[in-house]
Amino acid sequence: MSRPLPSVFDQALASAVRAPSPHNTQPWRFVVEHEVVEVWLDRERVLGVADPYGREARLACGAAAFNLQISLRANGLATVVRLLPDPAEPDLVAVIRLDGNEKATAAERKLAEAVFRRHTNRRPLLDKEVPPLARAALKSAALHEGGQIEYLDASGRYTPVASLVRQAEALQADDDQFRAEAAFWTHREPESPDGVPKSASGPPPYGPGIVSLRASHENHDLPAREYEQEPLLGAVLTRDRGPHAEVRAGMAMQRVLLTATAEGLATSFLSQPFETTRTRESLDRLFAGAGQPHTLLRIGYGYPTRLTGRRPVHEVLTHRTTAG
Ligand SMILES: Cc1cc2nc3c(=O)[nH]c(=O)nc-3n(C[C@H](O)[C@H](O)[C@H](O)COP(=O)(O)O)c2cc1C
């Protein structure tokens, strides 16, 4: 097989860093050696208060691995992906090896393009239903990566999960450590290479809604607005739990988000209940029998907002050269 052109790897790494991450912490590093790219968890960038076990950071690394893979695929390269391949290196999240050439499908090219348009939309969404075909497309996207998306309106879990989101939001609003961590990473300038800029925040809600977005992300320079009544909520699940399942869930989540972008849908996250012990345990109990919940997505139609910054690839990349 001919060596991939450097620009193909450059493009794949530029795609990788466009992945979403909690508070835009970008908890990843990449190592390129010959025809292999490794994705490493960067412990220094794991949120100590909201994510002490690195679950959300592993979701983010899984999303970065998915972006890498889909970009290589869109360029006609076949890949073999191994997740957490070395028990002695728990921070080595994924290894992506090139495996010859294989023509990209139109669907793969569409997802690879969506990487550079996908963003978290915290603004009010339109009160317009997501049609069954689009819902089905997101379901297939999750299944394709070994995950599952469960729509809460269909499963009867909407009200209890929405209540856990509100409970967790209230607990965090009352906790100095949560507030300090969120304050550090939010309300950044638009050009900030990490963290969440004000331009990516939504207006404060007019009144309490059925789900609460993070108060820490509200932009109080904007006038209060009415949010949609009952957004479509989808929980990303896997059959198993633990680090491997978290990386897999991150890949499934990212395929869902990119499929949503390609379908013209806006997405955002409601992670608060995963971040406080009591609400996380309640979530686990609520989904017992259905799977392990990893993240909660709000999905609907809205007006696109600005993309947020990223650290440049060279800051997160090491080239390893084998001696001899
Ligand atoms: C695992 C995970 C959890 C997240 N949780 C939230 C959340 O609870 N609220 C929120 O507004 N954004 C959340 N985000 C979105 C990030 O803040 C966002 O990805 C980051 O700021 C980069 O912006 P972008 O998604 O627009 O590229 C989460 C992202 C990930 C990957």
Confidence at residue 13, expressed as pLDDT on a 0 to 100 scale:
98
Position 324 pLDDT exceeds 50: no
pLDDT digits (tens, 9 = 90+) for 119-144: 999 999 998 999 999 999 999 999 99
Confidence at residue 5, expressed as pLDDT on a 0 to 100 scale:
61
The pick from 15, 28, 120 for probing ligand 1's pocket by mutation, whose C-beta has the most ligand atoms within 8 angstroms, reads: 120
The pick from 17, 23, 121, 186 for probing ligand 1's pocket by mutation, whose C-beta has the most ligand atoms within 8 angstroms, reads: 23
Residues 98-117, mean pLDDT to the nearest whole number: 97
What whole-number distance in Å separates Cα of residue 29 and Cα of residue 306?
Answer: 25
What whole-number distance in Å separates Cα of residue 21 and Cα of residue 14?
Answer: 15
Residue 303: pLDDT band (50, 70, 90) is: very high
What whole-number distance in Å separates Cα of residue 161 and Cα of residue 157?
Answer: 6
Q: How far is the CA of 23 from the centre of ligand 1 (A)?
A: 6
Position 76 pLDDT exceeds 90: yes
Position 313 pLDDT exceeds 60: yes
3-state secondary structure of 185: helix
Cβ proximity of 48 and 96 under 8 Å: no
- Token representation of residue 211: 């789900």
- CB of 51 closer than 6 A to ligand 1? no
- Token representation of residue 36: 């292999």
CA angle 179, 181, 182 (to 5 degrees): 65
Q: How far is the CA of 281 from the centre of ligand 1 (A)?
A: 21
Position 3 pLDDT exceeds 70: no
Residues 245-261, mean pLDDT to the nearest whole number: 98
What whole-number distance in Å separates Cα of residue 15 and Cα of residue 214?
Answer: 27
Q: What is the mean pLDDT of the chain?
A: 95
Tell me if domain 6-118 and domain 132-300 are identical in fold: yes
Residue nearest to atom 1 of ligand 1 (CA): 56
From the list 9, 133, 175, the residue with the least C-alpha distance to 77 is 9
Confidence at residue 45, expressed as pLDDT on a 0 to 100 scale:
98
Confidence at residue 268, expressed as pLDDT on a 0 to 100 scale:
97
The amino acid that residue 177 corresponds to is Q
Residue nearest to atom 18 of ligand 1 (CA): 20
Q: Compute the CA torsion angle 108, 113, 114, 118 (nearest 10 deg).
A: 140
What whole-number distance in Å separates Cα of residue 214 and Cα of residue 24?
Answer: 14
- CB of 26 closer than 6 A to ligand 1? no
Q: How far is the CA of 271 from the centre of ligand 1 (A)?
A: 8
Confidence at residue 134, expressed as pLDDT on a 0 to 100 scale:
98
- CB of 25 closer than 6 A to ligand 1? no
Cβ proximity of 178 and 250 under 8 Å: no
Confidence at residue 210, expressed as pLDDT on a 0 to 100 scale:
81
Q: What is the ipTM of this complex?
A: 1.00
What whole-number distance in Å separates Cα of residue 180 and Cα of residue 234?
Answer: 29
Confidence at residue 24, expressed as pLDDT on a 0 to 100 scale:
98
Residues 102-126, mean pLDDT to the nearest whole number: 97
Phi and psi, residue 93, nearest 5°: -80, -40
Confidence at residue 183, expressed as pLDDT on a 0 to 100 scale:
96
- CB of 196 closer than 6 A to ligand 1? yes
What whole-number distance in Å separates Cα of residue 255 and Cα of residue 266?
Answer: 14
CATH architecture of 132-300: 3-Layer(aba) Sandwich (3.40)
Phi and psi, residue 208, nearest 5°: -65, 135
pLDDT digits (tens, 9 = 90+) for 268-289: 999 999 999 999 999 999 999 9
What whole-number distance in Å separates Cα of residue 124 and Cα of residue 225?
Answer: 8
Superfamily of domain 6-118: NADH Oxidase (3.40.109.10)
Residues 293-317, mean pLDDT to the nearest whole number: 97
Residue 323: pLDDT band (50, 70, 90) is: low
Residue 2: pLDDT band (50, 70, 90) is: low
Across 198-223, b (16+ Cβ under 10 Å) vs e yields: bebbbbebeeebbbbbbebbbbeeee
Position 296 pLDDT exceeds 80: yes
Helices (H), ranges, the chain: 6-16, 55-74, 106-114, 132-144, 152-155, 158-173, 176-185, 243-262, 272-275, 277-286, 313-316
Domain range annotation of the chain: 6-118, 132-300
- Token representation of residue 193: 């290479």
DSSP letter for each residue of 299-321: EE-----PPPP---HHHHEEE--
